[in-house]
Amino acid sequence: MNQHTYLRAYMAGIVVPTIFFLVIATVFYIWRYVYNVPVPIERVLVFPMAFVPNLWGLWNMLFIASHSRTRLPIGLHGALLPLVLAPLGILLFRVLDFPALPLFAHIFPIAAPIGLIAYYLVWKYLVHFLNAVLGIA
């Protein structure tokens, strides 16, 4: 099963964020349209739902391609991904002039380490498991 290694790595990488965003979108839409909570996040939600899973897939492909040379553990490799995603998210919030950006600046010192730990654990256990299932670990 050595054919299409990078395609399998891409597919293993997109599974976790795709499922996560489906759950988040469902909760948000129920919250927004059933309970009429006025949160203007629709304009910000669509782009990450399309971009983040693709970036996870490409990041997993990069892990598979570079692992033989770097020997970087998959958890640590995954923990580096927020360092790419955070600046892109901040740029998106600035471009769309989203009003919650000052709030994010206040919670960043707490949220950043929690996010890095969460990414480390998700990549170490979930993405590694999916890579092993597809025979690319």
Lowest-pLDDT range of 6-15, 57-66, 79-88: 79-88
What are the residue ranges spanned by the domains of the chain?
5-133
pLDDT over 60 (residue 1): no
pLDDT digits (tens, 9 = 90+) for 49-69: 888 999 999 999 999 999 889
Structure letter (DSSP) for residue 4: T
Asked whether 128 and 137 are in contact (CB, 8 A), the reply is: yes
pLDDT digits (tens, 9 = 90+) for 124-135: 999 999 999 999
